[in-house]
């Protein structure tokens, strides 16, 4: 596009699906808060309610913020690649910090109540997802944010980064679903089968998590909705390849 010309419009349907994803994301956050506030007493640090910070932080960080970080390259299609990349990294980094707070909350709560750690399937899947997510973030920064990696190495790693990004998002939602089920069985196991309001609300949260994941996944896997490379990005990539690989730009 010529300087001063308006950017081309987003592909048909993309804006609508992104808007739906954000509506679902805000709704699932509100539903999580309503569940914890109405039926679990709310959230408070260094108190018997400290555990409740765990589900709130994990839904916010590992689902909503992670999903939005994955959507950055679809939403900001015509902004500078460096700015878009920085936002992608920052959202994932913020998700890591908030998730760490949630993990600290559950360990401290278990310690205060004398509950053993890391024995359930939810805890195994959740901790593995967090550790792999942290590793993915460091590898992404090393390959794409800081100089040093060769063009061919970046080209090799990019498909792995994309695959594991989507995989970790799926694992995060799965871990949340396991955690919701575990909380319900611990707290209302005697009445859960009677369709009590808390069980219905928590099940609704689970459905919202799945719906959010499906909408985000659909946006990410539509080939025609991928961010097109800008002209200056193609030129920079060719220059970078020439400098690091010793190839001629027209090779």
pLDDT digits (tens, 9 = 90+) for 141-192: 999 887 667 788 888 999 999 999 999 999 999 999 999 999 999 999 999 9
How many CB atoms are closer than 10 A to CB 104?
Answer: 15
Q: CATH number of the domain that 160 lies in? A: 1.20.120.1770
Number of domains in the chain: 1
pLDDT tens digits, 73-112 = 999 988 888 899 999 999 999 999 999 999 999 999 999 9
Q: What gap in Å lies between CA 140 and CA 121, rounded to an integer? A: 28
**Domain boundaries, position 105:** 15-222
In a domain, 9, yes or no: no
In a domain, 89, yes or no: yes
pLDDT over 60 at 70, yes or no: yes
In a domain, 241, yes or no: no
The whole-number pLDDT of residue 232 equals 53
pLDDT over 90 at 13, yes or no: yes
By CB atoms closer than 10 A (0-12, 13-18, 19+), residue 211 is: middle
In a domain, 210, yes or no: yes
Q: What gap in Å lies between CA 54 and CA 211, rounded to an integer? A: 22
Average pLDDT score over residue span 111-120: 96
- Structure-token match 């949340």, residue found: 176
In a domain, 54, yes or no: yes
Q: What gap in Å lies between CA 206 and CA 158, rounded to an integer? A: 31
């Amino acid at each position: 596009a010529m300087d001063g010309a308006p950017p081309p419009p987003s592909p048909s349907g993309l804006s609508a699906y992104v808007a739906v994803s954000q509506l679902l994301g805000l709704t699932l956050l509100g539903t999580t808060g309503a569940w914890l506030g109405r039926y679990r007493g709310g959230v408070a640090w260094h108190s018997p309610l400290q555990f409740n910070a765990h589900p709130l932080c994990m839904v916010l960080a590992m689902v909503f913020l992670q999903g939005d970080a994955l959507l950055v390259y679809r939403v900001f299609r015509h902004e500078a690649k460096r700015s878009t990349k920085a936002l992608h990294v920052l959202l994932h980094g913020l998700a890591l910090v908030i998730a760490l707070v949630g993990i600290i909350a559950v360990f401290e709560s278990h310690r205060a109540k004398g509950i053993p750690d890391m024995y359930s399937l939810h805890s195994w899947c959740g901790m593995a997802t967090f550790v792999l997510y942290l590793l993915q973030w460091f590898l992404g920064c090393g390959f794409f944010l800081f100089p040093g990696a060769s063009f061919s190495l970046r080209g090799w790693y990019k498909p792995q980064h994309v695959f594991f990004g989507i995989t970790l998002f799926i694992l995060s939602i799965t871990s949340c679903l396991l955690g919701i089920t575990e909380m319900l069985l611990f707290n209302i196991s005697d009445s859960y089968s009677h369709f009590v309001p808390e069980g219905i609300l928590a099940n609704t949260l689970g459905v919202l998590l799945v719906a959010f994941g499906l909408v985000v996944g659909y946006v990410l896997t539509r080939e025609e909705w991928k961010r097109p490379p800008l002209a200056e990005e193609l030129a920079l990539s060719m220059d970078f390849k020439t400098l690091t690989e010793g190839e001629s730009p027209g090779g």
